[in-house]
Structure 1
Amino acid sequence: MAGRRFYGAMFGLVLGLAQPAGAEPMLPPQAPVEVLPLEITIEGLGGAGGERLRSELSDVQFVAVGEDHGFAEPPRLAAALGQELAQTKGAPVHHAVEVGPHTVDKVANVLRAEGLVGLDAIVDDQPSIMPFLANLDDASLALPYARAGRLWGIDQEFIGSGPMLYALLAARAHDPELRRTLGAWRDSDRAALAAGQFDKVSLSSLARADFARLRQGFSDDPEALQMVDALAESARIYQYNDVERYFENNDERGKLMAAYFLARYRAAKGPPPRVLFKMGAYHLGRGITPTSIFDLGSLLPGLAAASGKRSLHIAVVPIAGQVRAIAPGPQGLTKVSAYDEDVVAKLLAGAGIELDSLPAQGLALIPLEPIRQRMSGKVRRELPEFARFMLLGFDYLVTTRDAKAATHFEAWEPGMESRLVLQ
């Protein structure tokens, strides 16, 4: 140990002697820690934060907006980023969502034919049929991509999607007994979901043999077989949770998302497509996630680099405000409540950023690279796991002290969508 200290001191002395007097230092100055006001308008991005993000987009292939679920700001920011990205030179922009591919195919058809009113009718009939796209903010983000045929569903089929997908399969079935089976599963799922009993839904209980019999009934229908296989894979992944095999649940889901995404990516015609992602932050940060896996976000930088591009990762997590969460009850499927998490507050405290330096209302954009450069290892290690993941896995943090809850279709009235961006 003493020898290493000696040689280290001598090495530093030699470097010091080798530096000519008055010479410019080799190292550039560190970028300042910044808190930039960010605005979302009908035209796109505004404020100093908007200018910063816009300047990032010229060589970006993937924009990954990672959210804490239940807020209006992430999809609205993603919509503005998509507008800005579409105005830069490059391949068409596609939108990837945290919803199953067959559910998204159905939703995209409805959005193309009927717009948001058609999707509202689906959700009114079965509020728990899909995650995220049942929120008006997310559906408004998806609408132009659905109309252009560039909306990708890359997640497992949601546990509540059975009633819709079983109905689609029943419409294709020739065997009356098969139609009765699918109808029974649909009706049982509808009753369980209406009661908020997600543990009694078919994807939590169907066995491999059930899906094998279903496959036999659609042996001459490749499209139906794809749907059956997607449901079987979703059931398998969900059922890891039933026996508390949580790591495998997350790992298998991450692999499935990557496989669905790459299949869409490779099938896109023309130059490598640009993709706008809006999903849970765990899925879109670089590095090992708080669920201890490498998720989709770790795939994006290398894939973009292969095309001479890069990926941009933005976490959108509030400090305070209102949040909408699934909470079945007399009031409906969802409920709005006060948001009470201190993850971002602790991250900012570790960076030496006072909460009072953020605007009381509106969004703030915080570049994370300068914070990574300055934060000591000890402070970084003492951060909550999610805060540390955001710090190391994302390029920017977007936060607010006055978050707005997502608008579920059960709370929607026609005309409300025209006010979304400005709320």
Structure 2
Amino acid sequence: MKIRKLACAMGMASWAVFASGAYAQTPPPADFTQLISQASLPLGVGPNGLSGAGASVLGQAVAGSQYVLIGESHMSREIPAFTTQVCRLMAPTGLTAMAIETGPEAARAVGSMMRSPDREARIADFARRHPDAIAFFNGRDEGQMAADCAAAAGPDLQLWGLDQEFLGASGHLLEEMLKSNPGPIARAAIEGLAAQDRETTAAALESGSPGDLFLFDVTQEALDQAGAAIARDGGERARYLFGLLTETHAIYHASQSRSGDPNGRRARLMKRTLAAHLAENPKARLLMKFGAWHVYKSLNPLDQRDIGAFVAERAEGEGVTALHVMVLGAKGTEGSYAGVGRAATAQPFDVTEDEGPDWRKDVLLMRPADVSPDDWILIDLRRLRAGGLASAPSEWRNLALGYDIAILAPTLTATTVLGAIDESNPE
């Protein structure tokens, strides 16, 4: 199916199965097991804040950091709620922006709605008019997190989208180009693309396949011709938006054809976009939330230096601290992409059923009997690094080199998306 072929490009692959492999888990050596136990603390996560010994460790680490990066598994209810509590820790001492794994224009749209009392209705309406134009932040819990963080941080909080735009963003981008009052040559070219977008969007809504959307239907020749027209009299705003469109098109096509290093191109785009924001806000304090592979401070599992490595190096050069926090779940359900305009499906997972090595299974095996089953577990990876990683299994070594703190939620629950087609009543 086309949906499956595009899973990597969309960044929708579930982290619930990221550790599956062909060999069984073997326990860490006894000396390293002792280090893990010493570095593990219970963490209570609730609507009124964080509690337990882990809350003190996390609070101190957050307080001393200019950049706080959360690497997650996507589309749950619990991780956005946790992120809200981190935002509330940061807000009293200043928070410039939340940087997120969605496109700049999608983030701008969400940012314009996140403080509105009818936020969910407005996001749902946007999602119906522009299916699949927003990655992740059409999720009900992501939107609530953005609203709660904005309330805590105040009216100046910005939302920075660093990624490429999402699969169905072309209609919104073309609409915004026309709103920018381009000249007649550019307008004719944009209107031609917009007509094609309306046709392809209707087809994609009918089939559910993202492969039917404009970004996979339009030819490079058509984009080149439109680009030449927009360069003539489109104006600065239209040229900027068209640049977002063509870069998004290039990334998805490279992923679809498995050529041209799409993951690396995507990472470089995010770095450029963040660098541009920081050039305008040189002392910015940031909360960042991305998929876990993006946030490694070292080479990630794709052997790439992604946005997390970029921030780690920048922070070192600035003489400030970047805190990298991985947050995953032990079991439950996570939302999974189900097609254009469709509601997310709830995919069950249980880390104990995976065959491959996974740090989460070690944490579960070592969970103290007196810790509440509702408590999360925080592992201070900085203590593991200080104690030495010579005896660490490879999964723990990679984790401790890539992150400062790992947090395991006992259960995750799939979020729901706003503006999805109700297939029982499409009208």
TM-score by length of 2: 0.78
Bigger drift between 79-88 and 403-412 goes to 403-412
Q: Give the root-mean-square deviation of aligned CA atoms.
A: 3.1
Q: Indicate conservation of the 8 Å contact 1:111/1:147, yes or no.
A: no
Could you tell me the percent identity over the aligned residues? 22
Deviation at 1:195, TM superposition (A): 2.1
* Residues 1:191 and 1:341: Cα distance change in structure 2 (over 3 Å): farther
Partner of 2:29: none
Deviation at 1:325, TM superposition (A): 0.8
* Residues 1:318 and 1:352: Cα distance change in structure 2 (over 3 Å): closer
Partner of 1:224: 238
* Alignment equivalent of 1:39, drawn from 31, 35, 44: 44
SS of residue in 2 equivalent to 1:289: coil
1:243 has 2:257 as partner:
yes
Specify which structure has the bigger relative contact order, considering alpha-carbon pairs within 8 angstroms and separated by 6 or more residues. Answer: 2
* Residues 1:307 and 1:373: Cα distance change in structure 2 (over 3 Å): closer
In structure 2, distance between residues paired with 1:356 and 1:125? 50
Gaps of 5+ in 1: 1-28, 413-423
Partner of 1:161: 169
1:346 has 2:354 as partner:
no
Q: Indicate conservation of the 8 Å contact 1:300/1:311, yes or no.
A: yes
* Alignment equivalent of 2:69, drawn from 59, 64, 70: 64
TM-score by length of 1: 0.79
Partner of 1:5: none
Deviation at 1:168, TM superposition (A): 2.3
Question: Which residues in structure 2 correspond to 1:7-406 (within 5 Å)?
Answer: 33-88=38-93, 91-112=94-115, 115-143=119-147, 144-145=149-150, 148-172=156-180, 173=182, 174=184, 175-176=187-188, 178-218=190-230, 219-245=233-259, 248-268=261-281, 272-328=283-339, 332-342=342-352, 346-348=358-360, 353-355=365-367, 357=369, 359-372=372-385, 377=390, 380-381=393-394, 383=395, 389-406=398-415
What is the number of equivalent residue pairs in this alignment?
Answer: 374
In structure 2, distance between residues paired with 1:32 and 1:350? 10
* Residues 1:212 and 1:352: Cα distance change in structure 2 (over 3 Å): closer
* Residues 1:351 and 1:77: Cα distance change in structure 2 (over 3 Å): closer
Gaps of 5+ in 2: 1-33, 422-427
Q: Indicate conservation of the 8 Å contact 1:319/1:345, yes or no.
A: no
Q: Indicate conservation of the 8 Å contact 2:210/2:339, yes or no.
A: no
* Residues 1:190 and 1:129: Cα distance change in structure 2 (over 3 Å): farther
CA deviations over 1:200-254 (Å, ceiling 9, x no partner)? 32223434432333234433420111010111011111111122227x1111110
AA aligned opposite 2:379: I
Q: Indicate conservation of the 8 Å contact 2:95/2:287, yes or no.
A: no
Deviation at 1:63, TM superposition (A): 0.4
* Residues 1:179 and 1:239: Cα distance change in structure 2 (over 3 Å): same
In structure 1, distance between residues paired with 2:197 and 2:131? 17
CA deviations over 1:365-392 (Å, ceiling 9, x no partner)? 12123345668656523x4xxx654332
In structure 2, distance between residues paired with 1:263 and 1:368? 31
* Residues 1:162 and 1:379: Cα distance change in structure 2 (over 3 Å): same
AA aligned opposite 1:339: F
* Residues 1:348 and 1:118: Cα distance change in structure 2 (over 3 Å): closer
Partner of 2:3: none
In structure 1, distance between residues paired with 2:387 and 2:202? 53
* Residues 1:124 and 1:256: Cα distance change in structure 2 (over 3 Å): same
Structure showing greater Rg: 1
